[in-house]
Amino acid sequence: MISEVEGWAELHWKCPRRNMTKKEEAMLKKIEKLNKEKQRIEEMCSYEKEYSQYDYICGIDEVGRGPLAGPVVACAVILPKDARILYVNDSKKLSSKKREELYDIIINEAVSYGIGIVNQDIIDKINILQATYMAMRQAINNLSVKPDILLNDAVTIPEVDIKQVPIIKGDAKSLSIACASIVAKVTRDRMMDEYHNIYPEYDFKSNKGYGTKAHINALKEIGPSPLHRKTFIKNFI
Domain residue spans of the chain: 2-43, 47-184, 194-233
Architecture label for domain 47-184: 2-Layer Sandwich (3.30)
Q: What angle do CA 216, 217, 221 make, to 5 degrees?
A: 120
Q: Are 219 and 191 in contact (CB under 8 A)?
A: no
Give the pLDDT confidence score for residue 1 in this predicted structure: 46
Per DSSP, the residues of the chain read: -HHHHHHHHHHHHH-TTSPPPHHHHHHHHHHHHHHHHHHHHHHTTHHHHHTTTSS-EEEEEEE-SS-SBS-EEEEEEE--TT---TT---GGGS-HHHHHHHHHHHHHH-SEEEEEEE-HHHHHHH-HHHHHHHHHHHHHHTSSS--SEEEEES---TT--SEEEEETTGGGT-HHHHHHHHHHHHHHHHHHHHHHHH-GGGTHHHHTT---HHHHHHHHHH---TTB-HHHHTTT-
Give the pLDDT confidence score for residue 27 in this predicted structure: 83
Contacts of 188 (CB under 8 A, 6+ apart): 63, 64, 70, 71, 73, 208
> Average pLDDT per run of 10 along the chain, which is 237 residues long?
51 56 82 94 97 98 98 98 95 94 98 98 98 98 98 97 97 97 98 98 98 97 97 92
Indicate the pTM of the whole model: 0.89
